[in-house]
Amino acid sequence: MTRAGTVAALRRAHAERALHPREVACEALRRAAGADPATWIHRLEPAAVLAYVERLEGLDFDNAPLWGVPFAIKDNIDLAGTPTTAGCPDYAYVPERSATVVERLLAAGAVPIGKTNLDQFATGLVGTRSPYGAVPNAIDPSYVAGGSSSGSAVAVAHGIVPFALGTDTAGSGRVPAAFNGLVGFKPTRGWWSTRGVVPACRTLDCVSVFARTVADACAVAEVAGGFDAEGPFSRRVEFAGFDADAARFGYLAPERLPWFGNDAYPDLYERCVSGLPGTPRAVGPEPFLAAGRLLYEGPWLAERVAAVGDFVEAHPDAVHPVTRTVIEGGRTLDAADCFRAQYRLAELRREADRAFADIDVLVAPTAATHYALAEVEADPLGTNARLGTFTNCVNLLDLCAVAVPAGTTPEGLPFGVTLLAPAGRDHALLHAAAAFLGEETPGADEPLPGTLHLAVCGAHMAGQALNPELTGRGAWRVDATRTAPRYRLLALPDGKRPALMRSESGGAPIELEVWSVPSGAVGGFLATVDQPLALGSVELEDGRWVHGFVGDSAASSGATDITRFGGWRSYRASLRAL
């Protein structure tokens, strides 16, 4: 599986029949068996895995974007017929039905390999609070892997599976990504259903994904996301966006951040900031740090008691001592304390909103430092608390986040940063993360599941007057190109829009952009487009055909032929020069 270690590569190999999903699944099982035992809580038997492979025969490859792709599941997420332990053997149960996100992945052709280890009850950022053993870091086993989704991150980092599900309440889907050199995507809260997930803090919990590339994380997101009427905390996300190719970046002022004695991280962060495009804007870290501190001072600690407190009280010896100490701390809060914390969080959200008024993406360190296993053992509570310094705030402030690799320390350990944006900016944020890593734009070659490619050549292009009608619906630009040399461009009489007309003679290449639009937003966008424009198909200069706006038969009436300018921008520039 070395030459097919990503979702995209596996899909190509399967399409070309260079690999068979049985072969891929067996190789994943072999690698899983050879991994550190602490990585897994339950590995599926080969017969069970191959039963999932046999199901693929009944799926249409073209409509199953994860066809034959093996994956791992954090063991607080249900897989039907397989025990869910949440890292506590006495808590185990066997669900009859898979979690919503798992059901969607299976329907898309993904093949489960097993359930991964975690900090018990998803309470921790270290990956050591488990009776199944501490999960060693994939790069240096003397260091922690990060938690709570430790096993999922390590399974991807060791190349066992191309992607793995985690959960994220305070950073559990981001800290392990940073410590193991991975991409970790935490979607907008409620976009991915948490039905079938053992709760930590139900109002904050998110399912997340670990992958090697942003494109893979994006492919999983487009399958896993979506409103779930059976999930009480699912929400109909109002997607919005920004032009990710011209994103306004912000960063937390490094000199005002706590680094807890780590000398390498500040230097690596400053190097990262210095390489950001445009003119990055320094953002005061105080509201983000203050919101993070609320996580273990207010109602969200008490919420852990609501989630598993009865079990802890009834089975104290079955619970990891550190986990028990953390959860029991939530019993000391009264109702007034909980409301005061919520009032304070509302104030901090307004401060964060003001910070994002001038930027599209905030780049923050994922963690302030990285600890060896021995250091965590000596101070389990203090080290864990410090690891959440920059991550605790994200779910509380209702942000989406992508953790990405951003360098290596002198000791050879990964350093990571997290790209943050307000809720609903997930698509544009993933695009910006891909650009940050120098990856090909997710969905550039063909639309991702749940999206539509749409070509625009006038006022809807980036920087033009009507572009917010695209970005405001969560669309992101995937290509800036030209048409085949068989089109004319006409300026309509209103002076605000052009019409693209196919012409087998006398045509020329016309500048345009291809935007990826979430399928659910397409109808609303089309309603904003008036005659004489209509949705049709446009041929690009590389021979591809995409949906796009073209002029109907009435478009030439009273219009001015501006083909010679080669595009709307050049035409508008010529008018300004007059």
Q: Tell me whether strands 361-365 and 414-422 are parallel, antiparallel or unpaired.
A: antiparallel
**Considering the chain, what percentage of its residues have pLDDT values greater than 90?**
82
Look at the chain and report how many structural domains it folds into.
Answer: 2
Confidence band of 150 (pLDDT split at 50, 70, 90): very high
- Identify whether 442 is part of a domain: no
- Identify whether 443 is part of a domain: no
The residue count of the chain comes to 578
Give CA–CA dist 70/44, Å, rounded.
12
Give CA–CA dist 575/572, Å, rounded.
5
Write down the pLDDT at residue 555: 82
Residues 217 and 356 occupy one common structural domain? yes
Which is nearest to 421 in space by CA: 398, 450, 443, 388?
A: 398
Residues 340 and 464 occupy one common structural domain? no
Q: What are phi and psi of 498, to 5 degrees?
A: -105, 165
* Higher per-residue confidence, 403 vs 243: 403
Confidence band of 450 (pLDDT split at 50, 70, 90): low
- Identify whether 161 is part of a domain: yes
Tens of pLDDT along 202-241?
A: 999 999 999 999 999 999 998 999 999 999 999 998 888 7
Sign of CA dihedral 101, 183, 420, 432: negative
516 is catalytic: no
Give CA–CA dist 207/187, Å, rounded.
8
CB 486 within 8 A of CB 504: yes
Write down the pLDDT at residue 449: 62
Write down the pLDDT at residue 2: 42
- Identify whether 283 is part of a domain: yes
Tens of pLDDT along 244-262?
A: 778 999 999 999 999 999 9
Residues 428 and 327 occupy one common structural domain? yes
Write down the pLDDT at residue 327: 94
> For residue 543, what are its two tokens?
């021979």
CB 401 within 8 A of CB 422: no
Provide the CATH number for the domain around residue 332.
Answer: 3.90.1300.10
Tens of pLDDT along 257-298?
A: 999 999 999 999 999 999 999 999 999 999 999 999 999 877
- Identify whether 274 is part of a domain: yes
* Range 364-370 average pLDDT: 98
Provide the CATH number for the domain around residue 518.
Answer: 3.10.490.10
Residue 105: how many other CB atoms lie within 10 Å: 25
- Identify whether 445 is part of a domain: no
Minimum mean pLDDT among 184-188, 255-259, 495-499: which range? Answer: 495-499
Catalytic member of 98, 115, 130, 148: 148
Average pLDDT, the chain: 94
Catalytic member of 98, 130, 172, 234: 172
Residues 112 and 247 occupy one common structural domain? yes
Write down the pLDDT at residue 3: 40
Residues 175 and 278 occupy one common structural domain? yes
> For residue 349, what are its two tokens?
């959200």
Say whether pLDDT at 4 is over 60: no
Cα–Cα distance list, 124 to 167, 319, 352 (Å):
12, 13, 25
Last residue of a domain, one of 437, 471, 505: 437
Residues 378 and 489 occupy one common structural domain? no
148 is catalytic: yes
Write down the pLDDT at residue 27: 97
Give CA–CA dist 106/66, Å, rounded.
8
**Considering the chain, what percentage of its residues have pLDDT values greater than 70?**
99
Sign of CA dihedral 384, 387, 390, 396: negative
Residues 433 and 455 occupy one common structural domain? no
Residues 416 and 558 occupy one common structural domain? no
What is the domain range of residue 67?
A: 2-437
* Range 473-477 average pLDDT: 82
Which is nearest to 363 in space by CA: 408, 414, 429, 410?
A: 429
* Higher per-residue confidence, 521 vs 314: 314
Confidence band of 420 (pLDDT split at 50, 70, 90): very high
Say whether pLDDT at 443 is over 80: no
Confidence band of 1 (pLDDT split at 50, 70, 90): very low
Confidence band of 242 (pLDDT split at 50, 70, 90): confident
Give CA–CA dist 350/117, Å, rounded.
37
Catalytic member of 74, 130, 149, 234: 74
Write down the pLDDT at residue 494: 87
3-state secondary structure of 171: coil
Say whether pLDDT at 434 is over 90: yes
Tokens 């780590």 locate to: 262
* Range 165-173 average pLDDT: 98
- Identify whether 455 is part of a domain: yes
Q: In what order do the strands lie in the sheet with 70-74?
A: 40-43, 111-116, 70-74, 163-168, 206-211, 183-186, 399-408, 414-422, 361-365, 249-252, 281-283
Last residue of a domain, one of 402, 437, 472: 437
Tens of pLDDT along 550-573?
A: 988 788 888 999 999 999 999 999
234 is catalytic: no
Tens of pLDDT along 456-473?
A: 999 999 889 998 888 888
Residues 468 and 412 occupy one common structural domain? no
* Higher per-residue confidence, 27 vs 447: 27
Residues 183 and 101 occupy one common structural domain? yes
Which is nearest to 262 in space by CA: 387, 393, 392, 420?
A: 387
Say whether pLDDT at 142 is over 90: yes
Residues 521 and 557 occupy one common structural domain? yes
